[in-house]
Structures are given as structure tokens and as C-alpha cells.
């Protein structure tokens, strides 16, 4: 990011997660429901997305943004898995079909890349399902098909 630039991200928070040593029912502000390490990784993820959007702009295929974001995150020293297949269980048995997640960063954040006209509510529901099935808490929808990157980023926290 250029000095002075910032990306404000809309957050969806689906639950009251508490950590050891913290008061029960204590409501905290944005970013305070997650450990410091997770927030640091999340900040790097959003910054990397900003860099990709700044370089490429809107109008390309989702797969191109995903590949560039993968590269940018690994360049920054993060462990990233791409097109990760997650087994799905129903009634105690594994289904033949598996869930495919765009990016998993440091085994703690899911990034769902998009190149669509607008983010619809279904995308947030899908990301919540991905988080539950992958047993993770934090994810981002990153829609690169926007003029301003901040308008295309949604943070979802379980």
C-alpha cells in the first residue's frame, strides 16, 4: 500500500468466541475477537489483495487474481495452499464430492476470490459454510472486479 492509503473492510461476525482469561459475554470491537497473530496474518492478506488489485485493476478472470494473490502471499513469507480439497461428511460418511477452497493461508484464513459485478449475500453464506467445514474461524471474500478494492472485500468471522 502507498503510505496514507488504507482499506476498511466490512466484517460479518457470526459468534461470540471467547479466549482464556477473558470475561464471559464481553463485547469487543473490530479485530478484537481474534488473536493478535491471526489479525497480523489477516492484515497481510488484505494488503496483498490490495497490491494485486492495484497492479491488475478490475476486469480479469478470477483465476488470474487467485494466482497473483497466491504469489503475493508466498512472496511475503506466508504458507498458502491453493485449490484445497476438503472432505465433506454427511450422516457419518464421507461424500465422493469434496469442497474446493480457493486459498488457505497459514492454515487459519480462507480467501474466496471473486471477479463478479457485486458480492451477493449467498457468497457470505458459502464462506461461512466453508469455514465450518474446514474448522476455521476467519475468511475473506475478495472481489477484484471493483474500482476501489475496499468495496470488494468482506471479512467473515465465525
pLDDT above 70 covers a percentage of the chain that reads 79
- Whether 131 has a pLDDT exceeding 60, the answer reads yes
- Whether 3 has a pLDDT exceeding 50, the answer reads no
- Whether 56 has a pLDDT exceeding 90, the answer reads yes
Domain ranges of the chain: 31-157
Q: Per-residue DSSP letters for 38-103?
A: HHHHHHHHHHHHHHHHHHH-SSS-HHHHHHHHHHHHHHTT--EEEEEEEEEEETTEEEEEEEEEEE
Mean pLDDT of 34-59: 96
Q: Whose grid coordinates read 461428511?
A: 89
Amino acid at each position: 500500500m502507498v503510505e496514507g492509503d488504507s482499506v476498511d473492510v466490512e466484517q460479518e461476525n457470526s459468534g461470540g468466541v471467547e479466549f482464556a482469561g477473558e470475561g464471559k459475554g464481553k463485547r469487543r470491537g473490530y479485530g478484537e475477537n481474534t488473536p493478535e497473530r491471526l489479525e497480523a496474518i489477516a492484515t497481510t492478506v488484505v494488503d496483498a489483495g490490495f497490491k494485486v488489485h492495484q497492479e491488475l485493476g478490475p476486469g480479469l478472470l478470477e483465476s488470474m487474481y487467485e494466482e497473483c494473490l497466491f504469489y503475493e502471499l508466498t512472496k511475503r513469507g506466508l504458507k498458502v495452499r491453493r485449490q484445497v480439497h476438503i472432505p465433506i461428511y454427511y450422516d457419518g460418511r464421507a461424500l465422493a464430492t469434496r469442497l474446493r477452497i480457493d486459498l488457505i493461508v497459514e492454515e487459519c484464513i480462507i480467501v474466496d476470490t471473486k471477479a463478479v459485478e457485486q458480492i451477493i449475500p449467498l457468497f457470505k453464506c458459502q464462506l461461512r459454510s466453508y469455514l465450518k467445514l474446514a474448522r476455521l474461524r476467519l475468511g475473506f471474500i475478495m472481489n477484484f472486479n471493483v474500482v476501489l478494492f475496499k468495496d470488494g472485500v468482506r471479512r467473515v468471522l465465525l
